[in-house]
Amino acid sequence: MPAVSVAAGCCPASTPANEVVEDIFGLVRILRDGTVVRSPVGPVFCPTTFPENHPSVEWKEAVYDKAKNLVVRMYKPSPAGGKVPVLVHFHGGGFCIGSPSWANVHAFCLRLTADTGAVVLSAGYRLAPEHRLPAAVDDGAAFMRWLRAQSSASANAAEADADAWLTEAADFGRVFVTGDSAGATIAHHLSVCAGVAVEADDAGEAGEQDQDQVTIRGYILLLPFFGGVERTASEQAECPAGAGAGSLLSLDVLDRFWRVSLPAGATRDHPVANPFGPDSPDLGSVDFRPVLVVVAGLDLLRDRAVDYAERLAAVGKPVELAEFAGAAHGFFLHEPGSEATCELIRAVGRFVDSCVISASEAAA
């Protein structure tokens, strides 16, 4: 594992050993000797003017993995009105930056809770390059195990092991896994793992889902961060018309994220990055729950997400595609109070409602 330090300011004068070889927005710098320097200063795209609270939302933090010091920021409607659906959310940041505590992520989760009336669980995960992939995906799976433990403890009246603040509001029979950008990629991999487990269970193999108190009804992929060696048209466009020259996400940044986060020596066709790479699992054999894929028309990643949705649909998987034609990558984080963000959350709400209704009809 590389050495890690937190810079008090900018990097010192460059020498052969401490020369910066990778730099991500000044937030993460990798030195030639392998040291990783993380800035203690928050990013400029997380302004302090974003709201810290909402009148109809309560929130708090909990540690879900003490050994790794991984935190979940939990949100629920206030006042409480009975059990409500649960949205598990993983933040973005190219697997290298980001946190549930960042102001833009927090503001979005506040609004997501307020507007959908759901419990939102914004889970952190280990970041690269200190922890290269698949560490983030493994942490996503670990969080789902923590959620199952919460549900099981609550169902068995073992209140000492359950967080009553959460369990009194959460309907563990209506759980959705959502993610933004890299977090959406985590959601994809969790959907594949769950779908493979269902297939194995149907084949008569024992699985943990037999005793599962958590029922995942669907997955919501917000501007997923997929990669591949072969460039797409939207990637080749570099700066889509209307995105603006100051757009944070460029092809160079995308490549840098993958270079820093993938296992050493791996290409962008690695299964973690490319769902359709040469070594990726056959998605046609996966028992997918309904998937909502959201894309932004001015996003370099647009074409990969559209291709993902179209290829799932072509093999009969339950997938919906929603496109925000005039939006750029991360639009709902940069402007959490915008009308586009409002429409996005409405789309999420409609998807949640439709999955719940479909499940009820199937059970009838």
Q: What is the pLDDT of residue 238?
A: 64
Question: In the beta sheet, which residues pair with residue 148?
Answer: none
Annotated catalytic residue, options 139, 180, 299, 303: 299
Annotated catalytic residue, options 39, 154, 181, 234: 181
Q: Which two tokens stand for residue 125?
A: 């995960």
Q: What is the pTM of this model?
A: 0.91
How do residues 125-170 score in pLDDT, each as one tens digit?
A: 999 999 999 999 999 999 999 999 999 887 775 455 679 999 999 9
CATH architecture type of domain 54-362: 3-Layer(aba) Sandwich (3.40)
Q: What is the pLDDT of residue 208?
A: 43
Has 89 been annotated as catalytic? Answer: no
Has 181 been annotated as catalytic? Answer: yes
Is the pLDDT at 349 greater than 60? The verdict is yes
Domain ranges of the chain: 54-362
Is the pLDDT at 197 greater than 90? The verdict is no
Is the pLDDT at 8 greater than 50? The verdict is no
Distance CA 135, CA 271 (A): 14
pLDDT category at 206 given cuts 50, 70, 90 is: very low
pLDDT category at 43 given cuts 50, 70, 90 is: confident
| Contact residues for 361 (Cβ-Cβ < 8 A; gap 6+) | none
DSSP string across 4-40: EEE-SSSPPSP-TTT-EEEEETTTEEEETTS-EEE-S
Has 5 been annotated as catalytic? Answer: no
pLDDT category at 207 given cuts 50, 70, 90 is: very low
Average pLDDT, the chain: 89
Q: Give percent above pLDDT 90 in the chain.
A: 75
Q: What is the pLDDT of residue 3?
A: 60
How do residues 234-284 score in pLDDT, each as one tens digit?
A: 998 865 544 543 467 899 999 999 999 999 999 999 999 999 999 999 999
Give the 3-state secondary structure of 276-322: CCCCCCCHHHCCCCCEEEEEECCCCCHHHHHHHHHHHHHCCCCEEEE
How do residues 12-31 score in pLDDT, each as one tens digit?
A: 555 676 899 999 999 999 99
Q: What is the pLDDT of residue 80?
A: 79
**Average pLDDT estimate for 84-97:** 98
